[in-house]
Amino acid sequence: MTETNTPFTPDLPGFASDIEEFEATNSTTAEPSEGSDISAIPSFDLEGDYKPIPVVPRGIYSGNITAVHFSNYGLHFTICIIDDTSATLSDGNTPLNGAKITHTIWFPKPEDASTYTKSGKQTKREWKINNAAIEAKALNLSINTPQQIKDLIENGTAIGHPVTFQVENEFYKNELRDRIKMGTIKYAPQLA
């Protein structure tokens, strides 16, 4: 049996033209594309120019919900911190007053009904539903059904909603980040 180095080409419509297009766009002899000239890159020094993203220090804060959207099975809130002191973020320069932080209430994915949490005590669906119910009550928001969530976003019902919350700091992928501690965000009508 003799081996040949003939490339395999399946008999599929358009396959050959796809290969030709791939080779044309990935050719090493093609003209340089925009951004491929290293000398055109502005000068930088990764070590000297690197600045970590400033984070909100640990503590208890108040603020207002300024934006709400739903994506990836999460209801995401952007909260603008209200602080009348001269406190700053972790960089020592950025004012804490007006800084934004996000919080997400997670809702179940279809596969969560058959997947258990690490403890094995409940499904991920049950955990997410229970947690969403607790947070909705604490925030004084009606998000009991997908339609109510849609209405909340479309009507802007939560915009301007005053809240209090506790921020904690943690390392994620070797970067310090801030997040609202689960179970600490609450509606604060006295701030309205």
Beta carbons of 92 and 108 less than 8 angstroms apart: no
Q: What tokens were used for 123?
A: 């499904």
Q: Is residue 180 part of a domain?
A: yes
Residue 24 maps to a domain: no
Instruction: Assess if residue 151 is contained within a domain.
Output: yes
Q: Rounded to whole angstroms, how far apart are CA atoms 128 and 74? A: 10
Whether 29 maps to a domain, the answer reads no
Contacts of 63 (CB under 8 A, 6+ apart): 79, 80, 81, 82, 101, 162, 163, 165
Total of domains in the chain: 1
Q: So what's the pLDDT on residue 8?
A: 47
Sign of the dihedral through C-alpha 180, 92, 65, 60: positive
Q: Quick one: pLDDT at residue 37?
A: 83
Domain extent at residue 172: 59-191
Q: What is the mean pLDDT of each run of 10 residues along the chain (192 residues)?
A: 50 53 58 74 90 94 97 96 94 96 96 96 96 94 95 95 96 92 90 76
- Write the burial class of residue 24 (CB in 10 Å: 0-12 exposed, 13-18 middle, 19+ buried): exposed
Domain CATH number, residue 172: 2.40.50
**Helix extents (H) in 26-123:** 46-49
Amino acid at 72: N
Structural domain contains residue 150: yes
